[in-house]
Amino acid sequence: MTHATLPPLIDPFARAITYLRISVTDRCDFRCVYCMSEDMKFLPKKDLLTLEELDRMCSAFINMGVEKLRITGGEPLVRRGIMTFFNSMSRHLESGALKELTLTTNGSQLAKYADDLYAAGVRRVNISLDTLDDQKFADITRWGRLKQVLNGIDAAQRAGLRVKINAVALKGFNDVELFDIVEWCASRDMDLTFIEVMPMGDIGNEDRLDQYWPLTDLRDQLATRYQLTDLAERSGGPARYVRLEESGQKIGFITPMTHNFCESCNRVRLTCTGEIYTCLGQEGWQDLRPPLRNHPDDDAPLHDAIRAAIGLKPKGHDFDYSRQDVAGKMSRHMSHTGG
């Protein structure tokens, strides 16, 4: 039973697009070293889609068959008035058109917003957390405080939100914490996904090749202590999962460099300025702001522009670390596309 009121979005490779990740701001209260530079220049406010425009944009995608909406940033919860947007999106959950409304966050604002998010229909959150060490956390986020995030996780779990931790695997940084992070997540009944560091953006002196920790190595290390069982399940994202038999917990691996996960890609990304990127690892994008802003009372041009963009979705990305220089390296920052 589909609730879409318009024909579905099908890309040139016969993949139905049912998952939209939308960045609601490029701003963040942290400055994580692999995501943005310390002195980031943020976009002028007038360039950003208003909350009303974000609603109209997301609603257009939902009317065309998008069933999962993930709100990202920057840090989505630092956007002024953002709960207005979550509350307005909840109508699509109530109608059944939208099956899941979720967000990726650094956790810093969850103590404030967890109950409101649950009330708006959010049931799961992904929290980015790369270390359990106070000093290392301060170093990698530059501005962050670990205690604030841990308080946010407490608040999320109290509110009834299912928490998944996303940790970027960084050689020489959190490799020594592997078992600590795994056991901490198990103790709190939180799923955990490791992400290979990606060659995104020019962020100064951080050399991605030095930090690159292949998840094949991480997995081999886990196997020295746990029995790993591959799971067939997919979450609609790029992760591959294993179960640790001793703890029963589920661990995900997102390996853009060592495993090409594009064949089942069902998602597109929208920036906070209304640019649609149909692949995280390609520069191709279209600007949906003109059809949105030039036709305030007619969604047809917006629908046409969305379809045209999906019609250009590539088969896969170009990331490659194998030659000791980063081929396919992207010039934009992760914070611009929304992770």
d(CA 126, CA 117): 13
Cβ neighbours of 327 (radius 10 Å):
11
Give yes or no for a contact between 136 and 173, defined as CB atoms under 8 angstroms apart: yes
104 is in an annotated binding site: yes
d(CA 126, CA 261): 20
277 is in an annotated binding site: no
32 is in an annotated binding site: yes
Amino acid at 37: S
28 is in an annotated binding site: yes
267 is in an annotated binding site: yes
300-310 and 51-63 helices, crossing angle to 10°: 70
21 is in an annotated binding site: yes
Give yes or no for a contact between 95 and 62, defined as CB atoms under 8 angstroms apart: no
262 is in an annotated binding site: yes
34 is in an annotated binding site: yes
- How far does CA 41 lie from the centroid of its chain? 21
272 is in an annotated binding site: no
185 is in an annotated binding site: no
If DSSP states are collapsed to H, E and C, what string results for 177-202?
A: HHHHHHHHHHHCCCEEEEEECCCECC
265 is in an annotated binding site: yes
H or E segment and range at residue 168: strand 162-169
Detail the DSSP E strand segments found in 45-91: 68-72
For 98-126, letters b (16+ CB in 10 Å) and e give: beebbbbbbbbbbbebbbebbebbbebbb
70 is in an annotated binding site: yes
d(CA 118, CA 156): 9
Query: Dihedrals φ, ψ of 8, to 5°?
Result: -65, 165
27 is in an annotated binding site: no
58 is in an annotated binding site: no
35 is in an annotated binding site: yes
Residues annotated in a binding site for [4Fe-4S] cluster: 28, 32, 35, 262, 265, 279
Where is the binding site for S-adenosyl-L-methionine, in residues? Answer: 34, 74, 128, 198
Binding residues: 21, 28, 32, 34-35, 70, 74, 104, 128, 164, 198, 262, 265, 267-269, 279
Binding site membership for GTP: which residues?
21, 70, 104, 164, 267-269
